[in-house]
Structure 1
Amino acid sequence: MRSKMTMLFPLLLLTFLSTVRLETESDNEIIPQLTETGSQERGQANASDQQHNCVTDVNSVLREMSALLGALKVEVRHLREDNEAQAAKVRELELQKTELDKLKEQYQVRLEINSDSKITPLLNQGMETAQTSDPEQTCKPDINSVLREMSALLAELKAEIRHLQKENEAQAAKVRELELQKTELDKLKEQQQAQAAKVKELELLRAEMDKLKQESQAQGGELITIKSRANITENQVEALKREAEVKRVAFSASLLGTGSQNIGPFNTHMPLVFKYVVSNIGNAYNSHTGSFTAPVRGAYHFEFYVYGHNSHPLGAVLVKNGEHIFIAYQHSTSPHSISSSNGVTLLLEVGDVVFLRLWINAWIFDNENRHSTFSGHLLFTM
């Protein structure tokens, strides 16, 4: 558009020079005629005055139109600058950059096409007219034609300017709308960044909580292991205590608690109950039944002593779970008292029972001197 407006000025200058040349030639023709006849001089002077006035009016119109074209050119330049500034703002908006660039390109192409289609034919026509036409014959009609075309061009330029102004206003409104959208988008981005920061913080907290939970679970597992070990250790300690307590098994008892007495004779085997307990470590001996019950599997040693008078046989049998093991027996005709003893080491299982029986038709005596005794103890566990 700017280049086409620049080409318009040579046309106007050419038209102005043609008019001046026409005026000069007319003056040269009029002066000789004035010297010939006075009447013709007055008529021709009137014609020259009219022609001079016409040229002056045309020059005035051309100057006004040139000034108007200059003003329009400045206004178009300002509009163009405003349009470029608005296009720069539009380019800054990332989301609308492509669309606005396309609009600008379409607008520039349309403006160049309109300018080429309107100004170029006029320039060509003016150049051809200035070169080929006879200044004397075509001056006035050409000037009128140029004036009409320039008036039409000015009207079109004004319409184009109004159209540009409307488009600029529309673009300005669009720019404002896009700026509002950009502001809102910036706010959304800030909110999104804040939310992302919060999410990141929450993820860190969650990771820390998961780590603490894993550590807690690991500590819980370790605690369970420690408790299990403690329970095992406690059980082992209890077992060791029981074993230690069980290992301390020993007893010793005599037949009567008080007084003196002969037990027997009987025609059958009778269990002997040794009631006076001297020691009963581990409580394996029962003074009510006279039996010893093995608390653990192991080797046990037993000894028993019986005392009596010579008038009857003396005898006692050590029994294990009803089985006759060893016997202590004595029968003498001497006038003195008699006694007998025996001992044995047995492998007993837990719960095995050992006790003494009075032999058939035999008797046994005891008093405060504790002649008849039954003793036993654990040698070792197995």
Structure 2
Amino acid sequence: MESSGAELQDNEIIEQRKVSPESVNVPEPQPCPSDLHAVLREMSVKLAVLQTEMKQVQTLNQEQAAKLREVDKLKLQQQEQAAKVDTLKQQQQEQAAKLREVDTLKLQQEEHAVKLRELQTSEVDPIKDQLRGQAAEINSIKSRMNVTENQVESLRRDRAGEAFTDAF
């Protein structure tokens, strides 16, 4: 009896279940071999197109990566050139400062030259005139001394001649 009770329960469960077309596993019809070959050919063509497109995309990516590296390289060169420009600007400013200093020194030199000319005219020229006068005086004294020397020599000769004549 128990077995018949179990059968009744199973039958009740089956009856309680409603059967729907989705719940029934009906195998789909198998395509014929010629359709399979057509699908495979179509898929092969699509795969070939996708591979070609993928290679083109990879080539574009590589080209863009190369361009990006070139851009990075150019940016680095630009930064280096900017640093050089800054250095050159600094050097230019330093040279401009040195030129201003040279100009200042030239002005000072010109001022000193003017002062030197003023000193020469105010102090050196009178001293030169004084030295010229002293040189003329010295020349006059020399010529008088030569005359005096000549007179002394003449007197010595005269005395020596008198002493020689007195002795005879």
Report the TM-score range of the alignment, normalised by the length of the smaller protein: 0.5 to 0.7
1:215 to 80, 90, 97: 97
Task: Report which of the two has the higher share of helix.
Answer: 2
Distance 2:124 2:29 in 1: 134
Q: Any unmatched runs of 5+ in structure 2? A: 1-25, 142-168
Q: Secondary structure at the match of 1:63?
A: coil
Distance 2:78 2:53 in 1: 35
Q: 1:270-289 maps to which residues of 2 (within 5 A)? A: 282-284=131-133, 286-287=136-137, 288-289=139-140
Superposed CA RMSD in Å reads 3.0
Q: Secondary structure at the match of 2:30?
A: helix
Q: Please list every run of at least 4 consecutive aligned residues from structure 1 whose deviation after the TM superposition is greater than 4 angstroms.
A: none
1:64 counterpart = 2:9: no
- Offset at 1:193? 0.8
Q: Secondary structure at the match of 1:64?
A: coil
Distance 1:63 1:189 in 2: 60
Q: Secondary structure at the match of 1:193?
A: helix
Distance 2:123 2:45 in 1: 111
Partner of 1:242: 124
Task: Report which of the two has the higher share of strand.
Answer: 1
1:164 counterpart = 2:46: yes
- Offset at 1:155? 4.2
1:182 counterpart = 2:64: yes
- Under a length normalisation based on structure 2, what TM-score does the superposition of the two structures give? 0.54
1:200 to 79, 82, 90: 82
- Offset at 1:192? 0.8
- Offset at 1:238? 2.4
CA offsets, 1:115-169, max 9 Å, x none?
Answer: xxxxxxxxxxxxxxxxxxxxxxxxxxxxxxxx79xx54x5444322211111111
The one-letter code of the counterpart of 1:172 is M
CA offsets, 1:208-229, max 9 Å, x none?
Answer: 2222222222222222222222
Q: Any unmatched runs of 5+ in structure 1? A: 1-58, 66-146, 250-280, 291-382
Between structure 1 and structure 2, the one with the greater Rg is: 1
Distance 1:244 1:289 in 2: 21
Partner of 1:232: 114
The higher-RCO structure (CA 8 Å, 6+ apart) is 1
The one-letter code of the counterpart of 2:117 is N
Q: 1:296-307 maps to which residues of 2 (within 5 A)? A: none
Distance 1:156 1:63 in 2: 17
